[in-house]
Structures are given as C-alpha cells and as structure tokens.
Structure 1
Amino acid sequence: MKRIFLAAATIFLSASMAFAQEQQPASHPKVLPMFGQVAKTDAQQKADEKFLTSCDKSFESRTEASNFFMDRGWEYLNEGQVDTAVYRFNLAWLLNPDNYNTYWAFGLVENSRGNSKEAIGMLERALEYQPNNSLLLSDMGSAYLQQYLSDKKKKNLKQATTFLDRSLKADQNNAFAMSSLSQVYFHNKKYAEAWDYLHRGRDLNIMSLDYNFLSDLMTRMPDPKGIFRIETEAAEAAN
C-alpha cells in the first residue's frame, strides 16, 4: 500500500509540475472541462497513454485512480485554484469517463464562471448516473436560476423550480435547495414565501445563506421574523 501511495504521489507531482511549467492560459484545453472537448494531437494522445499506463501500475484500478485525482481537484477548488482543479478533474475523467463526479465538478466550475448553459449540460450528464441525488438536483436548480438571471426567460425559472422541488423530495433537509427556492420565489415576487424558505434553509445550514440575495430581499419586504434588518432601521431601533 505504501508503494502504491508513493507511486501515486509521484504521478501527481509530475502532473502538477508539468501544469505549472506550462502556465496554461485560461482558454487552454487543460483548464477547460473534458479538455475543451476538442480533438487531441498525436503527441497529446501519446501523453495520455503514458499517463494512463503509469496509473495502471500505481493503482489497483482506474476507478481508484480517478477518485484519487477527484479528491485532489476538490482540494484545489476549495483553495480557489480553479484552473488547477479543473486539470485534476480532467485527469479523473480521462481515467474513468463514467465517474459522475467529474461531470458534477465540471458543472459547478462552469456555473461559477458564468457559463450556466454549459453547466446545465454537464450536470445533466451527472444526473444520468445519479437521478435522485438531492445535492446534484439542487445544483442543477441553481444553474437554471443563474440562466434565468442571464436571459430573464421564465421557462428557466420554471425549470429551476422543478429541479429544486425534486431535490427536496429526495431530501427534505437540503438547505441549499431551500436557499435557491427562496430566490425563485423572490423573482416570482412572492416575498413572504421567499422569506420562509430563506429562514428554513438558514436554520438547517447557515452556509446556505446568500448575503447578497438577503440584502435584495430586505429591500422588497422586511423580515417577518425580525431577525434581519436594514442597517438604518437597526440604528434607529438602537437609539
């Protein structure tokens, strides 16, 4: 096991050094989901084969290797190193195209980059493997919500509602689904319902609270519970 771990670390370090040395521009296939979905050159294909062969010698299976690189990708993503994270996700995908987590990760990255249409496409692939995954469904709902904010088409808001409802059906305690539903109700001008879902999500997980959205909601309707107040109102109350 130690030998396998050391070998895996060597592969990981080699990949990291190669990535750093090349200093990929943002448009380079290595930092785009599924390597940009473009045809590879002969040299690139040979490099892929060499990488896969090395992994075959170091891991018990490509599934295990794929999961290893997914974990490293999440670590980089949590550190804010998005491009490096995407490269790791690409390696995980190369090792196992049936690893639904790769498509999930690609979807989250694309949504964070403002590419909601691309995000929806990636999340659809993930849902083919995990159709009842509550968190995945809520991320799809969030992607449709972002798409609505971009094009203001009601059909996207309806799609967001559909996926968020499915998410809560799969897990009634999904705080992030509730947070996104709060925003859906807000855009439908149903502010009382928006507050209800915001509070329910916050009570379950404070991390689900979007403070920018909270500010917008407070300008349309005061918090019925009186927990959140606009600064000027809070100052007047203090005096």
Structure 2
Amino acid sequence: MKYYYFYLTLTLLLFSAVTFGQSISYTDWKVAASSDSRLLPKYGNVPKTDEQKEADEKFIKTALEADGTPRKASDHLVRLGFDYLYRQDLKTAMSRFNQAWLLDPKNEDAFWGFGAIYFTFHDSQSGLMQYEEGLKLNPNSTNILTDEATVYMTRYMTSRNENDFNEAVKLFKQSYSINPKNQNTLFKLSACYFVKHDCSNAWKYYDECEKLGGKPITKEYTEALTQGCKR
C-alpha cells in the first residue's frame, strides 16, 4: 500500500509536468502585460496605433509569402509558440500565439496556446476561459479537449473535488471519442483511472497507448501501474 500512495504522488507530477516550467513569475508577467499588449490574448483587444497597424500589415504579407495561406501561416506560428513555451520563453511564446491569432482569428489552436500560457502560471481559470473560446470555434479539437481535461485533473489532484475529476474524465472521453489514437489522451485516461484504483480501465487505456507506440508513457508510470494495479 505504501507504494500505491507513493505512485499517486508520482501521478500528480505526471499531470503537473504539462506546465512546462516558467522563466518569469506570474506577478512580473502581469506587470509587464499591463504595458505590453503582446502578452495578452488577442493583444488585449487594445486599439492599435497607425504605426502598429502598418507593422501588422507588413508581417501578414511576409507570413503569407512564406506559408501561402492565413491558416497555414497561423498553424506555423502556433507550432513556434509551443516550441518557445517548451523552452520556457513565455514572452516569445505568447507573442507567437498572438501572431497566429492575427493571421487567422478563427484558428482554435491560437486559443490552445493562450490557455497553455495561463496553465503554466497555474491560473487554471484564465486557462479554461481560453480553452472554451477555442472550443467555440472547433468543439472537436482534441488538443484543447485533452488539455482542458488535464487542467481539471490537476485541480482534482490537489482539491480532491469529485466534480473536477468527473469533468476531467468526461472531457478526456469526449476527446477519445473524436480521436481514439491520441496517445496523450490515452495515457492521461489511464492515469485518471489509476488515481481511482480502477485497474481495469487504467490498464485498458495504457495498453491502447502502448500499442500505438506509448510515446508519453514513462518508465516510472509503468512501474506505478504494475505495482499499484495488478492485472
């Protein structure tokens, strides 16, 4: 039993790992954002100067010359944004997500990026607001559904509020129903059920993930599941 509770702590770390780490405190971020609209989603909806509008037009022209269409250029910027997020350069990441939104305001993945920024700062409420805005554009975005579910599961791991757990599982399953081959979703569904000691489902989603390559599965989680949930 002592191993089981140790591995529950490990599972919390697995969910918390999506926060990537941060190179600036949230307090400093909010101070900087108060004078720099590039650090706010959709540039804070702040009216732009003529000089800023001209700079935007030049940027859009350059981006379209490189990538062809607004959506392709926007997707390119989203990928760059997450690259910077993984490197803990949150300011550049937010700037890239805003540029992605500028190129295509209907690209739900820009809001996926906005939400990830706030989740990194452990501001789950602001993150969820951004995810919800993205889901209004595309209710079937498995990227957003899975990350939104992760927010709720992370909250559950500290609050033990059953509503958070139920919402997490609902969203993970919704994402799974859209794309049953998303390894990130499968791995986290397994972890959800492991937390509840529902071994049958924990192994079910673990096995599905492993058959697809098992990319997100860590050695530590495999050991946790093996010792905490006998087949």
TM-score (structure 1 length as normaliser): 0.67
CA distance in 1, matches of 2:158, 2:50: 41
1:208 partner SS = coil
Partner of 2:29: 26
Partner of 2:54: 50
Counterpart selection for 2:180 from 160, 172, 178: 172
Q: 2:187–2:217: 8 Å Cα contact kept in structure 1?
A: yes
TM-aligned CA deviation for residue 35 of structure 1? 6.4
TM-aligned CA deviation for residue 157 of structure 1? 0.9
Change (3 A) 1:91 1:219: same
The amino acid that maps onto 1:72 is L
Q: 1:148–1:157: 8 Å Cα contact kept in structure 2?
A: yes
> For 1:206-239, what per-residue CA distance to the aligned partner results, in whole angstroms no more than 9, with x for missing partners?
22214554454455334x3xxxxxxxxxxxxxxx
TM-aligned CA deviation for residue 159 of structure 1? 1.0
Partner of 2:147: 139
Gaps of 5+ in 2: 1-27
Identity percentage of aligned residues:
21
Structure scoring higher RCO (CA < 8 A, sep ≥ 6) equals 2
> For 1:26-48, what per-residue CA distance to the aligned partner results, in whole angstroms no more than 9, with x for missing partners?
332257441684x74x7x64553
Change (3 A) 1:100 1:77: same
Change (3 A) 1:87 1:163: same
CA distance in 2, matches of 1:86, 1:140: 18
Change (3 A) 1:58 1:173: closer
TM-score (structure 2 length as normaliser): 0.69
Q: Residues 154-233 of structure 1: matches in 2 within 5 Å?
A: 154-211=162-219, 213-214=221-222, 216-222=224-230, 224=231
Gaps of 5+ in 1: 1-24, 225-239
CA distance in 2, matches of 1:134, 1:35: 22
Cα RMSD after superposing both structures: 3.0
